[in-house]
Structure 1
Amino acid sequence: MAAFRPPEADQVFRILHVSTGNVCRSPITERLTRLAVVERLGSDAGLVVESAGTWGHVGAPMEAHAAQVLGEFGADTDGFTGRELLDEHVIRADLVLTATRDHRAQVISMGHSAGLRTFTLKEFTRLVRVIDMGKLPDAREPGGLVIRARALSRAAAALRGWLAAPTAEADEVQDPYGAPIPYFRSVGEEIRAALDPVVTAITGVPGTPGE
């Protein structure tokens, strides 16, 4: 049975980023996604970007090094509190992007018809790179960004069985929790590089060099 979707869900596209504690990787990914979309479009344009953790530190602030890295990228860190992944988060999400394959498996195991809309971040990046962007709806049309994002998600799901990762690790973002700031920076750069083609595909607007 398909998950219930309220009527207002048709007006937005919800992206849910999932990691373990929701204090390092998923907050970085959430806030960098928001930043990239606003930089390219001037607004969120109907995209709602959220995050949660499979063992989320409920109510906890973002890890200090994660906040520092986001600040260095120019992203907003205000108002963040950790959340544990709940059924309602998965039900409402149009696209779930996880840090690792294990997180992906945990999301899918929750049910709610999540299998076709749940990917690791790097898996989704790999898939969208081979999708013909010219065949996607124009994001500049009224409501076009939401329609385009849904079409992109469906196209990626259709490709999943045809384009395997070169290695299992290629689809993973490792956990920097407890590591020194240089490792957090490397993870931040890794996430930002993976997000660039995703945001380009969703918005239809390429990033600027060095973004």
Structure 2
Amino acid sequence: MADVSPRFAVLGVCTANICRSPIIEAVLRDQLDDGYFEVASAGVRGWVEKPMEAMAAMELMRLGLTPGSFRSHPIDDYFVDSASLILTATTGHRSEILGTAPEALRRTFTLVEFAQLVGTVEADDPASLVAEAARLRSRARGDLDIIDPYKRKPAVYRAVADQINEACLTIASRLNSLVVSADRG
């Protein structure tokens, strides 16, 4: 039986933690088994205690979720150190995290990158999925970034929310299947 930590922590990261990463957090929190996973988000230049941006919140509601009492957070060492998996909106965000915490390399991916990798790597549990994805990182192709919709047209917010939702559903499905498999083992 695979050893599955009951608190596998996933961290979504974007710039200010008011648009993309709150959507990542909400979708993953909704989709992941809360008996095993905890989800948070932060921004590399995050604002302190700001609500989700209104257009991002509207897109989240379109996806059937609510922002609730969401408040933004700047990323700090605690967030990085306690995360089992860090999913960034862009390669630039990933680089910023690794610039201050190079030891996080093997557990830091863009959201799009990790979504591409989860279906192509073998793993018995979430931790080994992250490790194997890091080992095979070069297999991810194409544009790995999710553009910043802040202060853009509604169609941009919609496209970003849909891209995040699709990637998160792929990731959540694979992570959940690994804890279900471990429970059966």
Instruction: Give TM-score scaled by structure 1 length.
Output: 0.78
Find 1:21's aligned residue among 11, 16, 35.
16
Q: Distance in 1 between matches of 2:36 and 2:140?
A: 31
2:141 aligned with 1:165: yes
Kept in 2: contact 1:152–1:201 (CA 8 A): no
CA distance in 2, matches of 1:34, 1:89: 16
In structure 2, give the amino acid aligned to 1:165: R
CA contact (8 A) 2:117 2:140 kept: no
Check conservation: 1:125, 1:197, Cα contact below 8 A: yes
**For residue 76 of structure 2, what is the aligned residue in structure 1?**
86
AA in 2 matched with 1:204? S
Name the SS for the 2:28 alignment partner.
helix
Contact 1:17 1:52 in 2 (8 A): yes
Aligned 1:61-72 pairs, distance under 5 A: 61-72=51-62
Match of 2:64 among 74, 80, 83: 74
1:27 shift after superposition: 0.3
**Equivalent position of 2:108 in the other structure:** 118
| Alignment partner of 1:97 is 2:87 | yes
The within-5 A match list for 1:112-191 is 113-132=103-122, 136-137=123-124, 148-161=125-138, 163-166=139-142, 170-191=143-164
Moved over 4 A (4+): none
Q: Tell me the CA shift for residue 53 of structure 1.
A: 0.3
TM-score by structure 2 length? 0.89
CA distance in 1, matches of 2:30, 2:65: 6
- Structure 2 counterpart of 1:195: 168
Root mean square deviation of aligned Cα: 1.5
Give how far 1:180 is off. 2.5
Does the 8 Å contact 2:26/2:65 carry over to 1?
Answer: yes
CA-to-aligned-CA distance 1:20-67 (integer Å, 9 cap, x gap): 010000001110111122xxxxx5122010000011111111000111
Cα displacement (A) at 1:128: 1.1
Structure 2 SS opposite 1:113: helix
Contact persistence 1:16–1:50 (CA under 8 A): yes
The superposition leaves residues 56-111 of structure 1 with CA deviations (integer Å, 9 ceiling, x where unpaired) of 11111100011111111111311110100111110100100000001000111112
1:44 aligns with 2:31: no
Aligned to 2:183: none
Distance 2:75 2:13 in 1: 8
- Identity between Structure 1 and Structure 2 (%): 35
Q: Which residue of 2 aligns with 1:6?
A: none
Cα distance in structure 2, aligned partners of 1:151 and 1:200: 16
- With 109-118 and 52-61 compared, the bigger mean Cα shift is at 109-118
Q: Which runs of 5+ in 2 are unaligned?
A: 179-185
SS in 1 for 2:166: helix
